[in-house]
A and B are shown apart, each in its own frame.
Chain A
Amino acid sequence: MSEERTTPKARKGDWVRIQRTVLEPGERAEHIPEDTRKVPLEMWAKGFLLDEEARVGEVVEIETGIGRRMKGIMESINPGYRHSFGETVPELLKIGRQLRAWRWEHESGRGGDG
């Protein structure tokens, strides 16, 4: 299959995420760290697609949830949230056991009278 056919396509009214460059590396503020000045200042926004149809990677126009229009490169369609409660951090489990042990020791020290 051609790349054209595998790239996801959105239709007018679909909720999409766009990316645009605000400042190129050469345009960035003077007094910022070297590593930041070397890269562009980028911005991401979400909104309803205004173009009849578009593929991911194309420049599109959107209308945001509060009705503002913006242009940018369409990055995804129906963008969701991927952040989570994370992987287990074993050190936290150790802290939990330690606090439990302290609590029982402490309770018995109080002669069980609460």
Chain B
Amino acid sequence: MKNSGEYTEVMSRKSEILKKAVGLDYEGFESGAIAFDYEALMGSVPYDLKQIQQIQGETGVGNTPVFELRNLTELARSYAPAGKGARILLKDEAANPSGSFKARRAALSVYQAKKSGFKGVIAATSGNYGAAVASQAAMRGLDCIVVQECYDSHGVGQPEIIEKARKCEAYGAEVLQLSVGPELFFVFLKLLEETGFFNASLYTPYAVAGIESLGYELMVQTRERYGRGPDAVVVTNAGGGNLTGTARGIAGAASDSLPRIVAASVDLRGLNMASDGDFNRKSFTTGHTGFGIPFSVFPDRSDVPRSAARPLRYLDRYVTVKQGEVFFMTEALARLEGLERGPAGNTSLAAAFALAQEMDREQIILVQETEYTGAGKHVQPQLAFARQEGIHVYLGDPAEEVPGESIVLPETPGLIRAREIDVEELKKSYIRHGIDFARQRGGGDLKSLSEKDVEFLMQETRGDRSWVENYLHDFLEEG
């Protein structure tokens, strides 16, 4: 295995390997230098919502409860201006078989793998998705391999990831644990080729369509109980699939007024996700800006040729919260609501706590997921680990928190903030990445980008023609 020639060789056959392992010919969706037919890609999933719910229902996935967080709502109101403080609801996705909403994504992927005759499934993930795929594979009688990035070069593992490895192994999966580095993808490709297993990527149309049931359910449940849908839905954002699928499901629950879709990520700006030294200096392994921003501005960096997760198409607002704020909310959720969940999944809850204070009391803000808690995956071991790695953990103003150096637990709940990410800047960055993407594919004279490319960029950025053409022109001039 020790030759760099093999690395280059395997990577050069990437699209061929992926094509076999997803059972989808992505080339058929390409429609321009930058453009592809996204709706046709999503349409390749041959199931409507009802059928998706039925497939998920076969393995007990979905139909999770919605809790009204009465005490946290009151706590938010006690810091909000008069008349402000929306009702905070929480969809308890931890109630899914593997303990997170990821079961919805895995359910459809594994069902499809089985139906297409694959003997097993592989997922490259250090997160809850591994456990979800392993659990679904166990239910459907398939073998499963999970590939994780887990250790730094000293062999020190993130407690949260070690717990997820344990959970995958509990479901009978083979877990391969790697040290830090994006070449995990090389190992992943080799495994796909050697085993002939299905690539249960988070970014196939199946893995995204599986979340549409979540968006649909939350609309129905909120309407049933409150006579109206939520005014805002907050989604923890990393690779963009959660947001995309949820928003598509919400849109499918046709309604006169749709909620605003707010993305929330933990602020880890300044840390390099591929750095061995930075790896254990973060306390969140997903739901953070290190995935959230790059996957928003260039979704096709994923492990499939074209990602079905395209968050900029659906988000109305994007905010960040600090690690210390999420840990605080995790503690508050347990103490005031009697729900031990997260921590990572409570990113959107921390944001909602701040956002509720801007909204009217009559309004509803819904947090669309929770995740299970366990050894290693819990406020206490994660903070103790951070401290052991030399991170300064203290009570104070989270505004002072510096990723990789400190975790500041808010001294009072009033210090929790949702900080804006400039979405217009992300959209500009998206266009710039689109041009780079076309160039890498040898896209000849870029000044002759087709009408399809312009229309595609308008859909991707929700920008009007003049806005898109303006930036295209600027970036092309820059060369």
Contact = CB atoms under 8 A, between A and B. Distances in A.
Interface of A: 20-24, 26-29, 32-33, 35-36, 38-47, 64-68, 81, 83-89, 91-92, 94-96, 98-100, 102-103, 106
Contact of A32 (B4, B172, B174, B182): B182
B181 A87 contact: no
B75 A102 contact: yes
B328 interface: yes
Interface in B384-420: 384-385, 387, 393-395, 409, 412-413
Contacts of A85: 375, 378, 380-381
A98 B411 CA distance: 9
Interface in B275-314: 275-278
A38 B180 CA distance: 12
Interface stretch (B109-117, B330-338, B359-367, B423-431): B330-338
Interface stretch (B15-23, B159-167, B247-255): B159-167
B450 interface: no
A78 B371 CA distance: 30
B180 A36 contact: yes
A84 B374 CA distance: 8
Nearest to B11: A29
Nearest to B154: A39
26 contacts: A22-B1, A26-B4, A32-B181, A33-B274, A36-B180, A36-B275, A36-B276, A41-B178, A44-B151, A46-B174, A46-B175, A47-B174, A66-B143, A66-B145, A68-B195, A81-B166, A83-B381, A86-B384, A86-B385, A89-B383, A91-B393, A91-B394, A98-B412, A100-B335, A102-B413, A103-B71
B187 A33 contact: no
A29 B182 contact: yes
Contacts of A46: 169, 174-175
B180 to A, nearest CB: 6
Nearest to A19: B155
A29 to B, nearest CB: 5
B31 interface: no
Contacts of A28: 181, 183
B144 interface: yes
B120 interface: yes
A33 B275 contact: yes
B436 to A, nearest CB: 14
B78 interface: yes
A85 to B, nearest CB: 6
A34 B7 CA distance: 19
B447 interface: no
A95 B278 CA distance: 28
A21 B379 contact: no
Contact of B181 (A36, A45, A92): A36
A86 B382 CA distance: 8
A21 B183 CA distance: 12
B74 interface: yes
Given A39-B276, A46-B175, A91 B78 contact: no
- Which are the 6 A-B pairs with shortest beta-carbon distances? A86-B381, A83-B376, A86-B384, A27-B4, A39-B153, A86-B380
Contacts of B459: none
A41 to B, nearest CB: 5
Interface in B65-92: 71, 74-75, 78
A90 B225 CA distance: 40
B179 interface: yes
A23 B395 CA distance: 42
B172 A65 contact: yes
Given A21-B2, A86-B378, A43 B187 contact: yes
Interface string B165-193: 01001001111111111111011000000
A28 B8 CA distance: 10
Given A45-B174, A100-B335, A35 B276 contact: yes
Contact of B179 (A39, A64, A68, A81): A39
Contacts of B159: 83-84, 86
B181 A43 contact: no
Given A32-B274, A41-B181, A86-B381, A92 B331 contact: yes
B198 to A, nearest CB: 14
B3 interface: yes
